[in-house]
Chains A and B, each alone.
Chain A
Amino acid sequence: MAKMELAGVMLEVDEHGFMQETNKWNEDIARAYGAKEGINELTEEHWTAINYLRNYYLANGICPMIRRLIKETGFSLKKLYDLFPEGPANSACKWSGVPKATGCV
């Protein structure tokens, strides 16, 4: 298993850098992920999306549908790509500390 140090914590990650132990996540880790992708400051809007994603994942064991994410956060897809350079699945989910989506998605 690959390892990566983020915000001073050694994390188990998959080959794309997604965290494998979601309970080790904290806000600094999200910031560190963002910085790696060139977003040096996480805004209120980032946190809205990250918190929604994370809470949804913790409650349901899976990331929400994009349409639901759009509806619940009020951000358009374009807006989500502006906030998260690699998009909701590859950036937002990763920064939220949840595993990469699999299974025909």
Chain B
Amino acid sequence: MTKKHLKLTDISKEGDVQLDEVNIDELIPLPPPYDKNEGLKQLTDDQKVRLVNNLDGFSALALPKPKDKAEENKYIGQFVAGLKKLLSKENNWTFLQPLLLSLDYCARCQTCSDACTVYTASGKKDIYRPTYRTEIFRRLINKYAKSGGKLRAALGAGNIEINWGTISRLYELSYRCTLCRRCAQICPLGVDNALITRELRKLFSQELGWAPKELHEKGTVLQLEVGSPTGMRPAVAIDNIEFLDEDFTESTGIKVATPWDKEGADVLLLHSAGDILSFPASVIAFTVLCNAAGISWTLSSEAPGYDGVNYGLFYDDIQLARIVTKHAQIARKLKVKKIVMGECGHEHKALITVADRLLIGDLNIPRQDAMSFLEDIVFSGKIKFDPSKNNFPVTLHDPCNVVRNLGIVEPQRRILRYLCPQFREMTPHGVDNYCCGGGGGLSVMSDVNFTDWKVNVSGRMKFIQILEAFADQPGPEVGKYLCAPCLNCKLQFKDMFKYYGAREKSGIICGGLAELIVNAMVDVKKPFITWDEE
């Protein structure tokens, strides 16, 4: 099969033309037993009639086709207005300087392409280059949002037409990037294509009101309304955690209880509510550890103080700011000394660094990452451990938002080196890691056939890395543990492992860091980690 070469101007092709397609045999190969291809899920005929499908044969956004030309033109007009607002100090002070530095000084050298997990996994498809969407976006900004732009475009500065095809494809394409920033890291000029991609998402969300429903309508909007994108209200959160505490107490005989809304506690622990539903062991493990280490801690039952996620980080500055402000206000009201993150990568980045320049005065409350918090507990000497209880192969996934984006590299490794005799690193790891494939909000997005894209394309490099890390004991008879201290990553792995049957074929399961610590506790007699289906 010959590789399809795309021109930048192809983005403006007639609205309904599909620009490219993903064929599973063009992707980089997976090792056996994962080398058998099942084909990728296509849109149904009914979906093809209703939904925009003009990019790569996948739909993450289920964008309905416009009724008529007038509707198309309305969106095109809004898009151009949005381009201008991105360049305004009032509307976009939050990222204006980084945006301009990334827009104006890219040398188009394509050095970043090979750093991209999506581009590499796809067998180097032009459409997934970090620079493809950003160069188009750059040319649109230069042409439509700067004075004299149209003249310069005509004179040879790069000319792209805005039409329905351009904006609908760009919208979908802005969600083919995991915002992992591996491309930014390798750029010799400091250009950040992930940042530009996020600005593009922002334009769609803040001006056109277009955003993936999992991130917006059922994400940040729901979180601000009821407390959590899971739809979990405060009473349900309390009820769920009480259930988990009782369940643990019953099955281990160790009595645990979770403190709620304790004013003046040292630590407000801010889990992701998704962990309660999908990885409850993580929540229990934190409870067990905090209690065993004698930490003065509390959870908050005030919405959204029990759900630390902040999808605004992925697509919308306003929603981002609203949620970090709420979180900080809740912590201030409880008079805690600091907020400690749960194992959720984007929560870390949103609240620890990005929010730092949104929170002023007494709202800028001290915040600590989960990794160093757990490190302190493990090495406090207050809990007795038996590392031989963790004598199974363990590897560590570095969540981009904790490691590359936040610089928290070593605490989790100190813990694993101490508690997991068979700990091994992936290649590459640390700040050079590959994304799980679910970054940038992708892991919670599953509309239409998008899950197939995530598990086959964006997660592919990581899946290969995981298999390589365990290549010494590949069979399912040896239980292996992928430690991924981030809910978004864990959800991506859950989808991926289910899709590939990784537990059945290779004995690999995925969980967080706190679970491994509890599993090594001398006082917890029954294995805390099991390879049974969860």
Chain A interface residues toward B at CB < 8 A: 2, 14-16, 60-62, 65-68, 71, 77-78, 101-105
Contacts and interface: CB of A to CB of B under 8 A. Distances in A.
A102 to B, nearest CB: 4
A98 to B, nearest CB: 10
Contact of A103 (B236, B240, B273, B533): B273
Nearest to B64: A1
Given A15-B47, A67-B247, A103 B280 contact: no
Contacts, number: 84
Interface stretch (B90-98, B227-235, B428-436, B454-462): B227-235
A67 B62 contact: no
B47 A103 contact: no
B278 interface: yes
Interface string B490-534: 010000000000000000000000000000000000000000111
Contacts of B443: 104
Contact of A67 (B218, B223, B243, B275): B243
B50 A2 contact: yes
Contact of B243 (A14, A16, A68): A68
A58 B277 CA distance: 17
Which of the four size classes fits the interface of chain B? 35 or more
Contact of A60 (B236, B247, B446, B447): B236
A105 to B, nearest CB: 5
A103 B276 contact: no
Nearest to B223: A103
B317 interface: no
A25 to B, nearest CB: 18
A14 B243 CA distance: 31
B362 interface: no
A103 B62 contact: no
Contacts of B309: 103-104
B190 to A, nearest CB: 32
Nearest to B450: A15
B81 interface: no
Contacts of B247: 67, 71
B232 A102 contact: no
B278 A104 contact: yes
Contacts of B243: 65, 67-68
